[in-house]
Amino acid sequence: MNDWVFGVERVLIWLLWVGIALASAMSLIVMVVRVAMTAFKARLRRLERRYRSVINRALRGDGEAIRLLVRSPARDQLHLARLIINPLIEDRDPERIAATREIAQAMSLVPLGDQYMGSRWWWRRAVALRGLGLIQFKERSSQIVAALDDESEEVRNAALDALADIRDPETLPAIVVRFHDASLHRGRRAAALAAFGSEGEGFLLNLAAVHKEHRLNYARALAICGTARSRPMLCEWTADDRVEVRASAFEALAHVGLDEQAASLAINALDSPDVSVREKAAAALHGWTGPGGASALARHLDDAWPVAIRAARSLKSMDEVGRIQLESRSSDSDIGGELARQMLWEMETHP
């Protein structure tokens, strides 16, 4: 028994020393982290105070201010680059972008960016890509496109952000062909395409004619950047074998707008056995005041919920034509009647 107690005591004493060492080390780490972070923040604040007005003058084209920034110590340049470039995330004014680009070039930030793009650390490559994108440095577009195939997911997505910010039409095919690349964040793919607006449509239509297996993705892409030009192809896709393709084709038609033929397809699709197709078809009829649309939608106010709400919203968008149908249903006590009353109230209060 005594041996056991002594053994335990030895272990406890050893644990006590370990505990003391751990607690001391942790206290030290807490203090070091705090001091380091406070010093870092103070330095940033000092830099901002010192250079804010210089940066503002430099952005207005003041040569002396630009020279001051160029002569700033090398150790401050990265922080200054952040101060100069980061506001471009919110402010995409072309004049400001051009002025910032000029300052960045004068400060030799582009060679620094090149150096970072060749770094072995992904976060450096990502920072460089985002920076070059924000200042729209088109001379590096090809390197940024190449970064779409980087081994790091973060870098690939940063490259996509950069291409969305640069908006160089020559990089558009590289973005379009990667629209169905699942290794890139889906939100970023959509944002990149949205940045170019309808410029990407032509490439999409050409690719879609070849790659039928990717129709679903192309339909989703056309729902972002399609125009009336895509309508015939989308109408064709509403008869695709795959339910998701049919639904997405109607979603894209809602974006590009309907003509007589597309509207007729949407009205017919309201009787599809698939809820997702009926839902998207009802949404596609948003704002369509042509014959047959409103009455067909009114029949679906008590359909499955996703269809009913889309039908109601589309009826609301049809002004008088929709109002007549909604009023005719508004006395019903079912879900369709409640939807009709809600839409009529919204038309009245928030037209």
Give the residues lining the site for another protein (CB under 8 A). 1, 4-5, 8-9, 12-13, 15-16, 19-20, 22-23, 25-27, 29-31, 33-34, 37-38, 86, 89-90, 123, 126-127, 130, 134, 154, 161, 164, 185-188, 190-191, 194-195, 224, 305, 308-309, 312, 335, 338-339, 341-342, 345, 349-350
3-state secondary structure 161-210: HHHHHHCCHHHHHHHHHCCCCCCCCHHHHHHHHHHHHHHHHHHHHHHHHH
* Token code pair at residue 273: 């056995």
CB of 233 to another protein, least distance (A): 20
Cβ proximity of 114 and 147 under 8 Å: no
Name the residue nearer to another protein (CB basis): 33 or 78.
33
Cα 317 to chain centroid distance, Å, stands at 27
Name the residue nearer to another protein (CB basis): 292 or 337.
337
Number of Cβ atoms within 10 Å of the Cβ of 202: 14
CB of 172 to another protein, least distance (A): 16
What is the residue whose two structure tokens read 């037209």? 351
Name the residue nearer to another protein (CB basis): 108 or 183.
183
* Token code pair at residue 297: 């939608």
- Cα(74)–Cα(65) distance, integer angstroms: 17
CB of 12 to another protein, least distance (A): 5
CB of 18 to another protein, least distance (A): 8
CB of 284 to another protein, least distance (A): 15
CB of 67 to another protein, least distance (A): 28
Number of Cβ atoms within 10 Å of the Cβ of 333: 7
Name the residue nearer to another protein (CB basis): 65 or 310.
310
Name the residue nearer to another protein (CB basis): 73 or 349.
349
Name the residue nearer to another protein (CB basis): 66 or 147.
147
Q: Which of 312, 321, 317, 309 is nearest to 286 (CA)?
A: 317
CB of 300 to another protein, least distance (A): 13
* Token code pair at residue 5: 């107690």
Angle, alpha carbons 155-159-164 (nearest 5°): 150
Residues 6+ apart with CB under 8 A from 308: 300, 301, 302, 335, 336, 339
CB of 166 to another protein, least distance (A): 13
Name the residue nearer to another protein (CB basis): 164 or 172.
164
Name the residue nearer to another protein (CB basis): 295 or 342.
342
Number of Cβ atoms within 10 Å of the Cβ of 84: 24
